[in-house]
Amino acid sequence: MTQRFRTASGGRIDRNRVLRFRFDGRAYEGHPGDTLASALLANGVRLVGRSFKLHRPRGIFSAGTEEPNALAELRSGARREPNTRMTMAELYDGLEAASQNRFPSLRFDLLSLGALAAPVLSAGFYYKTFMWPASFWEKVYEPLIRRAAGLGRAAREPDPDQYETMHAHCDVLVVGAGPAGLAAARVAGAGGARVILCEQDFELGGGLLMEPEHAAWRDETVSALQSMAEVTILPRTTVFGYYDHNVLGAVERVADHVAAPLPNTPRQRYWTIRAKTVVLATGAHERLIAFPGNDRPGVMLAGAAQAYATRFGVKAGARALLFANNDAAYDSLFALQDAGVAIAGAVDPRPESAGASAARARGISVWADSEIAGTSGGTALHGAHVRRRGGAGTDTAVVADLLCVSGGINPAVHLASQSRTPLRWNEALATYVPGVPVLAQHSAGAAAGVTGIAEAAADGAKAGAAALGAAAPAIPLPTGTTADARVLPIWEVKARGKAFVDIQDDVTTDDIRLAHREGYKHIEHAKRYTTHTMGTDQGKTGGIVGAAVLAEARGERVQDVGLPTFRPFATPVTWGAIAGAHVGKHFAPTRRTALHEWHVRNGAEFMDAGQWLRPAYYPIPTDTDAWESVLREARAVRRAVGICDVSTLGKIDVQGRDAATFLDRLYTNTFSTLAVGRARYGLMLREDGIVFDDGTTSRLAEDRFFVTTTTVNAAAVMAHMEFHLQTAWPDLDVQLASVTDQWAAMSIAGPKTRDTIARIVDGIDLSNGAFPFMAVGDGTVQGRPVRVFRISFSGEMAYEIATPSGYAEQVWNAVLAAGREFGITPYGVEALGLLRIEKGHVAGSELNGQTTAADLGLARMLKKRGDFIGRTLAQRAGLTDTGRPTLVGLRAARRDEKLRAGAHLVEPGSTTSHGWITSVTRAVEIEGWIGLAMLRGGAQRIGTRMHATFPLKGEVVEVEIVSPYFVDPENQRVRA
């Protein structure tokens, strides 16, 4: 029999079916209804992990989300998932699990030898030890620490599973399906409210699952909820975060209880839930007591031992001892006795108690007014040392392989606290409970400090009625008596040995006191100095114990010290659920212009430009390579006419009485003086004085402007405008609309451009006198509305035609037909880049978030009068330093040598970088390779030679420093 610790009967497992699983390569058996933790305990497995820092042996400590020790890697290969709590992993047939943080094996862990150095591995060890010599940090210390630290191993292969993102709205969200949550959901649902009930367990019931006498009420209540059309029940769903306006985040584990999801089924769902009212029925966590050896495998929370016995039919040990400061914990001891576990006795720090009397009536020995001063054993518990409270008398050695500990309960206030609900101190429970909420929210049951099944259910019904906000229907409620949960506050037993307040991270009571002595007296500082509560359990069982130790060191009460801030995530969730479907190509949508299908039909080779898919070039059979295609397209623009899809440029419609004033404040140059029907190039700075974006702005009417941005910054500029309009200048009468997708745009450039489009554009006189450079006008093409801009970024005569996206292909084809006589050629992004480099136009490679207007030779665009965003900080000494790199042009001295973007510019014979190349291309207007660069003393170096060096490729190319304007520096072509 492999399950030698399984009870003969009882529990909520299906004993008629056997599930086979493996742990650390060894085969075991369990049953449906088990968790991995309960199945391992049923098979007598006590050692399941190692602690984070000292690699001390660790056993299963709890039965829920608060588990600090029993973390495993589940599955293998691409589905390997590290740091999974065994207590929350639902058993399935074929499950593979492996322990973590050990080498070479769990039982024989070489890193556990580090415990010999435990006296020096105290709080702040890293900060004090790895300071000297400084040169060792990167070469020695950091690699060693990284190899020793960490828990599980993430999969190296891409995750093969799918994840979904869901949004839901409800009248009442109930978090937790224990007695309080079930009652709250039933009252609200019966009253007609739309209810969502989330439960992190795979079974509804919470504490009811450990109380067989209340099974009938649970079953009837769940059945009633399932019959209500307006109630949505989400089991296996962890609510991890509470945000503003009653928005909560949750993760539903849809297929974690099977080896692999079914086809077209997600593994997990990420829920964003917006609720009118929230009921937090999140229950409570039992807390530990700090005493020497309280981390040894076999030491377990009393409530967990009860859960394994009554819910899972598992004896967590053969001989149990209880150490508790409250009467409610004795129920756990009695449940173990009823399950057939031998009872060694109970240790109670109180002189007398009702729980002790009830134990004696059952024939159980009780050491009253006593405490546990230590434990014995290695990788499993052998026994404990009992003494009179305070250390008087002689220790008594008690043989036990299971030590059940209960220091009282801590209501699970994490979500309530995240919602900014203040916490208040409860003297009876010696813990914090939620105070008056600031949002539409109610805490109920154990989460509010109400103990007992009947009492919690009644409190939940009350919360459900309050959330309903109307006459609440009566529902059946459970009855029964409840053990007293009041505690005698006892946080620590001071004796020789390590007493842990954070079992996962090896934080001891001495570490907390050391932090205090070294000046880390605030609870938040002590947390970070010691790593207390920073593990995966987030201090659920030991957080308040550590705070109590710090309070004693400070000479204050626990409630005066407080707890660290609770933040999402209240419990761990997977990265896969957070990322959802937004991975790979789905990380951002692939955007296609309205002309995309035309480009496909005409053989375009595409490239990614931000989220957009743009034609890079259009190869034809006679082209020998990509460069020949690009050069052919660029020559067509320089010699005749070409057409390019520029629909991806950002387009923002700005309207309102104060639109001109608004743009004057955003841009470095002035737009209020711009005439209707004209366009102007504009430069925008960030608040810190660095160039943000450039583009053209056209005035369509006195109160209406059409702004274009670079492709990559379209969304950022729109957000920048909205932010300042809403926060800095809400008094301005301005409305904004992004119309990037609504307008298709095409650039027609080259000396034959006017001859081409004049044949098809109606309603506009395109002659040079009537429609000069930077003019704007509305017309039609084959009856379709168009807006024509005389704008050029190629250095040639050019026009941009914008049309509603639905007419894009008709207008595009009309231009092609009109230009066929002149050999009109479509050109892509690569030729567009070549042309703009020849012209010396800056783009994304130069607008890289590091350059100023002066760096780019655009200082003349900073208006002399009037303020604009970035003006003041642009005058900082560092940004006006004449030694800053400025824009220059480059030519390869040997025309057959290639330039490389990113190469550094150095003096011959030197390795000191004076600048770098931002953009390069093969030219068509002049021979060889050319480029743009940022170079210190750039203007003064024109006419000199330097070396462009690229060490990664071992390349050194001699270059000439020239003007960045290779083509038509006087702008005669664009004005022709």
**Where are the domains positioned within the chain?**
1-117+132-155, 163-284+411-468, 289-406, 491-575, 642-821, 882-976
What token pair was written down for 200? 């992190």
Can you list the alpha helix ranges (DSSP code H) found in 565-642? 575-579, 596-601, 626-639
Closest CA to 305 of 202, 409, 210: 210
**pLDDT of 394:** 78
Residue 1 has pLDDT above 60, yes or no: no
Contacts of 263 (CB under 8 A, 6+ apart): none
The Cα 402–Cα 144 span in angstroms is: 37
Closest CA to 295 of 500, 110, 92, 115: 500
Can you list the alpha helix ranges (DSSP code H) found in 158-284? 179-190, 215-226
Cα angle for residues 560, 563, 568 (degrees, 5° grid): 155
Residue 149 has pLDDT above 80, yes or no: no
pLDDT mean over 957-969: 95
Residue 119 has pLDDT above 80, yes or no: no
Query: CATH homologous superfamily for 163-284+411-468?
Result: FAD/NAD(P)-binding domain (3.50.50.60)
For 384, how many CA atoms within 13 A lie in the half-sphere containing its CB? 31
pLDDT digits (tens, 9 = 90+) for 236-281: 999 999 999 999 999 999 999 999 999 999 999 999 999 999 999 9
Amino acid at 57: P
C-alpha distances in Å from residue 555, one per residue of 481, 491, 524, 547:
39, 15, 17, 12
Residue 871 has pLDDT above 70, yes or no: yes
The Cα 524–Cα 517 span in angstroms is: 15
Q: In what order do the strands lie in the sheet with 396-399?
A: 370-377, 381-388, 396-399
Which residue is listed with tokens 């560092």? 878
Structural class in CATH, domain 642-821? alpha beta
Helix (H, G, I), strand (E, B) or coil at 694: strand
Peptide bond into 133 cis (omega under 30): yes
Residue 127 has pLDDT above 70, yes or no: no
Q: In what order do the strands lie in the sheet with 299-301?
A: 299-301, 402-406, 319-324, 342-348, 366-368
Element (H, E) at 354: helix 354-361
CATH placement of domain 289-406: 3.50.50.60
Query: CATH homologous superfamily for 882-976?
Result: Aminomethyltransferase beta-barrel domains (2.40.30.110)
pLDDT digits (tens, 9 = 90+) for 892-919: 999 999 999 999 999 998 989 999 999 9
CATH topology of domain 491-575: Arc Repressor Mutant, subunit A (1.10.10)
Closest CA to 511 of 124, 228, 166: 124
pLDDT digits (tens, 9 = 90+) for 347-371: 999 999 999 999 999 999 999 999 9
Cα angle for residues 168, 280, 581 (degrees, 5° grid): 35
Helix (H, G, I), strand (E, B) or coil at 338: helix
Can you list the alpha helix ranges (DSSP code H) found in 793-907? 808-819, 829-839, 877-880
pLDDT digits (tens, 9 = 90+) for 16-27: 999 999 999 999
Element (H, E) at 309: helix 302-310
Same fold, 163-284+411-468 and 289-406: yes
CATH placement of domain 1-117+132-155: 3.10.20.440
CB of 319 within 8 A of CB of 342?
Answer: yes
The Cα 174–Cα 187 span in angstroms is: 11
pLDDT tier for residue 945 given thresholds of 50, 70 and 90: very high
pLDDT mean over 495-515: 93
Element (H, E) at 737: strand 735-738
Reading phi first (left if > 0) and then psi (alpha if -120 to 50, else beta), residue 662 is in alpha
pLDDT tier for residue 582 given thresholds of 50, 70 and 90: confident
pLDDT tier for residue 116 given thresholds of 50, 70 and 90: low
CB of 933 within 8 A of CB of 920?
Answer: no
CB of 286 within 8 A of CB of 182?
Answer: no
Which residues, in sequence order, are bridge partners of residue 320? 343, 402
**pLDDT of 787:** 97
User: Phi, psi (5° rounding) for residue 599?
Assistant: -60, -40
143-157, 380-394, 871-885: which has the minimum mean pLDDT? Answer: 143-157
CB of 938 within 8 A of CB of 887?
Answer: yes
**pLDDT of 148:** 65
**pLDDT of 534:** 87
Which residue is listed with tokens 């600048």? 915
**pLDDT of 152:** 84
CB of 545 within 8 A of CB of 491?
Answer: yes
Residue 808 has pLDDT above 80, yes or no: yes
CB of 278 within 8 A of CB of 173?
Answer: yes
The Cα 220–Cα 227 span in angstroms is: 11
Looking at every residue in the chain, the average pLDDT score rounds to 94
**pLDDT of 115:** 62
Could you tell me the pTM of the whole model?
A: 0.79
The Cα 875–Cα 865 span in angstroms is: 15
User: 842-870 burial, b if ≥16 CB within 10 A, otherwise e?
Assistant: bbbbbbeeebbbbbbbbeebbeeeeebbb
pLDDT digits (tens, 9 = 90+) for 414-458: 999 999 999 999 999 999 999 999 999 999 999 999 999 999 999
**pLDDT of 109:** 85
CB of 460 within 8 A of CB of 181?
Answer: yes
**pLDDT of 171:** 97
pLDDT tier for residue 195 given thresholds of 50, 70 and 90: very high
Which residues, in sequence order, are bridge partners of residue 538? none
CB of 604 within 8 A of CB of 592?
Answer: no
What token pair was written down for 244? 């503003």
Helix (H, G, I), strand (E, B) or coil at 539: coil
What token pair was written down for 142? 């950091």
